[in-house]
A and B are shown apart, each in its own frame.
Chain A
Amino acid sequence: MTSLLIKNGFVFDPLNGVNGEKMDIAVENGKIVEKVNEAEAKIIDASGMVVMPGGVDIHAHIVGAKVNSGRLLRPEDHVKDVEPKTPVTRSGVGYSVPSTFTTGYRYARMGYTTVMDPAMPPLKARHTHEEFNDTPILDKATYPLLGDCWFVLEYLKQDRIEECAAYVAWMLKATKGYAIKLVNPGGLEAWGFGGNVRDIDDPVPNFGITPREIVRGLCKVNTLLNLPHTIHVHTNNLGKPGNYVTTLETMRCVEDLARDGKPVIHITHCQFSAFAGDDWRTFDSGTEPIIKYVNAHSHVTLDMGQVVFTDTTTMTADGPFQFLLYELSGNKWVNSDVETETCSGIVPFQYRRKSFVHSMQWSIAMELALLIQDPWKIFLTTDHPNAGPFTHYPRIISWLMSRKAREKILERVNKKTLRKSLVPTIDREYTLHDIAVVTRAGQAKALGLKSKGHLGIGADADIAIYALNPETTDLSRKPATVRKAFERAAYTIKDGNIVVKNGEVVNAPMGRTFWLNVDAPKAEIEISKILQQKFAEYYTVSYQNYPVPEDYLAVSAPIHVKAEVE
């Protein structure tokens, strides 16, 4: 079908200033258009329903080497949640680390259509893209881990920003990546010998550069290259009591690099980086200074990393942090270091209501989301699957929208948490407009994805329709109704095709893979000479076999970026 008309829905399209007005949305050839010929178009009656742009997830570990090791690690997790094959879908397994097909379907069922995988080891880029090719429906992209690459450390140490930029441009193309990802910058290189860095001014062993210099350096590179997203940062000391100080310093350290009040840094899954206290006994929420800072500055965006009380699988590139988690939990542990670039770790983890620390973590993410005033600065994530599987987003939406829902959670948490948490004092309840910002519009904007997150003319026709009537339902009093509506979209439309109807997948086309085709020709030629020279020495694979060719991507969607370096 080439044209669609979605009639009479309550439309929430924050990027175009539409706030719940009843209107029609017209679709032709996969794009939003002004109008269509009603006689020829397929009509969807959305009266009494909410219409939003398709959901956008800025940070969810859904594919690649680490995720797949997580899948391998957890047969006992899959066995309780299976997806049988249907005439239109492939079979798979679910719960905390779903198989690729299941991942695509489950996002689509919730009305999500674009998802970013935030941690790709460049050396294993092919793996990430192979899995993307088996992740149906969604448009997606991935962030190469660049904060501990030897080339980056060496260039930045010598303050050769332009060459570093040329290298990053080359890497984005070679790995078919979308943004610069930093995880515990410097700490991962140190982990190569089992070490870590203590704070953002602790020099990286054998390299002499500090995390501060890495963050600033790559932030400058990001600006030089004109990349659509900011640097995407998982802070040093993540997961440790007292780390809010490091988080504040990390945000501050790029304050002077901001231009025109635009964001230059994204602090991801901020919940894990907003801890106060000296140790686990004196553990506390460190959100207040972060919230104050973010409310007063415009160069930062965050995502939540909301904890859900469930059995999940933690997985990050932060090798030393995962080791800490293994020591704390005694659970099985995977560590995987990647030569010259990065590392990763995986530990199954159960968040318990009755645990003081875990319930405080729940509270910390809620405080961030509710007390940071501008919803364009903080996005809804669980750092899937780290703080909980993405399938819990509807539940989190209901918490954000309903004080009553939060109180119900608080009734059952650890008593000490109840005393310490700020959540009981917060009245704020998100509106549907706010929800549309934190689950799609804000994320698309932060990512610089111009055709996503809105329903303006020319946007990709990725649309979610939820069976929820804001006129007749008291959303704040009916959290379960809200949750159910967001769990099973009445319709999900992807590029103008109906892919989900009444919460069931009815069609599963393959989505695109976005990547940045950064144009920095001269600098790059030079850099590739140096790369070729050093490659055999740094890597155990050939230079020629390293880049991922474009035809490797099932649906390649390069975004052309003109860099400011020549």
Chain B
Amino acid sequence: MTVVSNVTCPVCGSLCDDIELVVENNRIVKVRNACAVGEAKFLGFADPHHRRVKPLIRKNGELVEASLDEAIRRSAEILAEACYPLLYGWSSTSTEAIRVGLELAEEVGGVADNTSTVCHGPSILSIQNVGIPTCTLGQIRHRADLVIYWGSNPWNAHPRHLERYTTFTEGRFQKSIWIRYLTKLQGLIGRKKAERAAELVSPRKEAMPQTEKVEGLPPPLKAEERKMIVVDVRKTRSAEIADYFLQVKPNMDYELLQAFRMAIHDRELDVDEVAGVPVELIEEVADVMLKCRFGMLFFGLGLTMTSAKIRNIDAAISLVRELNERTKFTIMPMRGHFNVTGANVVFTWQTGYPYAVDFSQGFPRYNPGETSAVDILARGDLDAALIVASDPVPHFPKKAVENLVKNPLIVIDPQVTPTSFMADVVIPSAFVGIETGGTAYRMDHVPLPLKKVVEPPETCLPDEVILRRILKEVRRLKGMRTA
């Protein structure tokens, strides 16, 4: 039995790096510090129902087992022949694999796109319009006395976000009433009960920083309590613990944000309510924003994927930007997949663009809506596809899926997925962050190492290695073609 500590959890964009795993006979038997979602991943990833360890190739309509060499050769043939292949996924693998993936996309003159195309793509387009004032998560822990969650419900989507970075944390300059509340709770009721309560909000009982004890530090400033505002179309669990909850009419976030921009400048509104929120409340909350010392606005898909999309984020960022004329304010998208941020980062340093990069003319070209996966699929522009560590079939629009499976399709994934069932070539890979290492970027762009904790099945190579072999084979084929 070995204990591996400080493991980074390869599930969501919170990328908690304090996970402790107990490993026995190449199996993870115990998980400490992770939330339920993370724990389920570490314990259940190897479940044979979701995993097949041999490569498959479709022959006469049937997926049959094949050797890895054969699967790689077939993949390379498909990609080398294609006029407009789509290489999609990338958000649940390591940056090392993404680097090779982009080289492959360039070599085959394809389009590389990552999953931000269907989540925070609009946020990125908006950043390109107006910029973004942001920070790392620790900055919030230390300084933020106001946290706003807009169209995002961290309690469900990023379970440990509140506990590690925001409402339930304390930092150098910022106390938390919640921590004290929980400590008191622990004293009052039995140990077991308290643990269960703490499990809900703060599994790390040592979370209380001991600033005063450390020698030579100036005592932390006496700060006011951290406030929390939730804006959403429905009352979520996160909303229940908020100081303010604003229920916005569906698809009217844009109007509300623009009204806030008016309110923080003391500009009068011609109307009495905006998006279902009375103007007095808007003005009151605007005042809370202006009076905070350090504010943070987290936004989620509730903002990026509704009606005004990019413009919602334009307005949200503009609001935060303008708040900086009066106080300190920051904003951050709540990113989903554990390395979707990393995918954006690698795409950007290699090509200048964060997603939806079209290499068909030999250089990177970018125009989401035109060069983005869903749109290419919906129009049926592609003639082959490679999907890496992603499962678009159950999530993409029907028309897009039709066009995806109509063309030659290669899937590299550690798991059996609906997409892999539809593929022509399936190459099983090692689980990134469990069976193979690498780098991932947290939602605030902090890079963290992923660890290899157990050995993968012999036939499952890391994505990076598989992609490199396909690339090599493509080059060999292309060399033959030109020769």
A327: chain B residues at CB < 8 Å are 325
Q: Assign chain A's interface to a size class.
A: 35 or more
> Shortest distance in angstroms between B133's beta carbon and chain A's nearest beta carbon?
4
Q: In the complex, A98→B293 CA distance in Å?
A: 37
> Shortest distance in angstroms between B137's beta carbon and chain A's nearest beta carbon?
5
Interface string of A59-90 (1 = CB under 8 A from B): 00001010011011111101100111100001
Which of B216, B221, B350, B365 has most chain A Cβ within 10 Å? B350
User: Given A134-B99, A336-B134, A340-B138 in contact, is the A545-B17 Cβ separation under 8 Å?
Assistant: yes
Contact A93 B363 (CB under 8 A): yes
Indicate if B227 sits at the interface (CB-CB under 8 A). Answer: no
Indicate if A395 sits at the interface (CB-CB under 8 A). Answer: no
Contact B364 A92 (CB under 8 A): yes
B397: chain A residues at CB < 8 Å are none
Q: In the complex, A207→B441 CA distance in Å?
A: 31
Q: In the complex, A360→B482 CA distance in Å?
A: 55
User: Given A134-B349, A338-B135, A540-B138 in contact, is the A83-B218 Cβ separation under 8 Å?
Assistant: no
Q: In the complex, A130→B94 CA distance in Å?
A: 12
Contact A334 B18 (CB under 8 A): no
Contact A544 B131 (CB under 8 A): no
Contact B221 A541 (CB under 8 A): no
Q: In the complex, A131→B324 CA distance in Å?
A: 31
Contact B446 A124 (CB under 8 A): yes
Indicate if B459 sits at the interface (CB-CB under 8 A). Answer: no
Interface string of B352-365 (1 = CB under 8 A from A): 11100001011111
Q: In the complex, A98→B352 CA distance in Å?
A: 7
Contact A75 B366 (CB under 8 A): yes
Q: In the complex, A461→B448 CA distance in Å?
A: 36
Contact A339 B136 (CB under 8 A): yes
Contact B214 A337 (CB under 8 A): no
Q: In the complex, A154→B220 CA distance in Å?
A: 13
Chain B: residues with Cβ within 8 Å of the partner, total of 71
Interface of A is mostly: mixed
Contacting A206 at CB < 8 Å: which of B130, B221, B439, B446? B221
Interface string of B302-342 (1 = CB under 8 A from A): 00000000000000000001001101101000000000000
Contact A71 B211 (CB under 8 A): no
Contacting chain B: which of A14-22, A411-419, A471-479, A531-539? Answer: A531-539
A538: chain B residues at CB < 8 Å are 138, 172
Mark out the residues of chain A between 119 and 169 whose CB falls within 8 Å of any chain B CB in the assembled complex. Answer: 123-124, 126-127, 130-131, 134, 150, 154, 158
Q: In the complex, A71→B357 CA distance in Å?
A: 14
Mark out the residues of chain B between 92 and 131 whose CB falls within 8 Å of any chain A CB in the assembled complex. Answer: 95, 99, 103, 106, 124, 127-131
Which of B6, B99, B446 has most chain A Cβ within 10 Å? B446
B129: chain A residues at CB < 8 Å are 332
Contact B131 A130 (CB under 8 A): no
Contacting A539 at CB < 8 Å: which of B138, B216, B361? B138
Interface string of B1-44 (1 = CB under 8 A from A): 00001101000000001100000000000000000000000000
Residue of B nearest to A63 (CB): B349
Contact B5 A544 (CB under 8 A): yes
Contact B106 A85 (CB under 8 A): yes
A192: chain B residues at CB < 8 Å are 139, 142-143, 294, 328
User: Given A82-B364, A85-B362, A92-B363 in contact, is the A537-B348 Cβ separation under 8 Å?
Assistant: no
Indicate if A542 sits at the interface (CB-CB under 8 A). Answer: yes
> Shortest distance in angstroms between A166's beta carbon and chain B's nearest beta carbon?
15
Contact B364 A131 (CB under 8 A): no
Contact B439 A126 (CB under 8 A): yes
> Shortest distance in angstroms between A170's beta carbon and chain B's nearest beta carbon?
18
B203: chain A residues at CB < 8 Å are none
B328: chain A residues at CB < 8 Å are 192-194
> Shortest distance in angstroms between A160's beta carbon and chain B's nearest beta carbon?
8
Q: In the complex, A150→B142 CA distance in Å?
A: 12
Contact A338 B139 (CB under 8 A): yes
User: Given A68-B345, A194-B328, A533-B214 in contact, is the A339-B137 Cβ separation under 8 Å?
Assistant: yes
Contact B349 A131 (CB under 8 A): yes
Indicate if B418 sits at the interface (CB-CB under 8 A). Answer: no
B359: chain A residues at CB < 8 Å are 85, 91
Indicate if B132 sits at the interface (CB-CB under 8 A). Answer: yes
B103: chain A residues at CB < 8 Å are 90
B445: chain A residues at CB < 8 Å are 65, 69, 124, 127, 336
Indicate if B226 sits at the interface (CB-CB under 8 A). Answer: no
User: Given A72-B124, A154-B217, A346-B131 in contact, is the A92-B95 Cβ separation under 8 Å?
Assistant: no
Contacting A72 at CB < 8 Å: which of B6, B324, B354, B364? B354
Indicate if B164 sits at the interface (CB-CB under 8 A). Answer: yes
Beyond known contacts A123-B446, A334-B127, A339-B135: 15 more, CB 8 A cutoff: A68-B345, A71-B352, A75-B352, A130-B447, A154-B216, A158-B216, A323-B324, A332-B129, A336-B133, A338-B135, A339-B139, A533-B214, A537-B209, A539-B138, A541-B446
Interface residue ranges, B against A (CB under 8 Å): 5-6, 8, 17-18, 95, 99, 103, 106, 124, 127-139, 141-143, 164-165, 172-173, 206, 209-211, 214, 216-218, 221, 293-294, 321, 324-325, 327-328, 330, 344-346, 348-354, 359, 361-366, 439, 441, 445-449
A-B contact pairs, 7 of them (CB 8 A): A72-B127, A130-B349, A194-B294, A338-B136, A339-B136, A340-B142, A540-B164
Task: Please give me the 9 A-B residue pairs with the lowest Cβ-Cβ distance, nearest first.
Answer: A339-B138, A194-B328, A93-B352, A337-B135, A332-B131, A126-B447, A84-B362, A335-B133, A540-B138
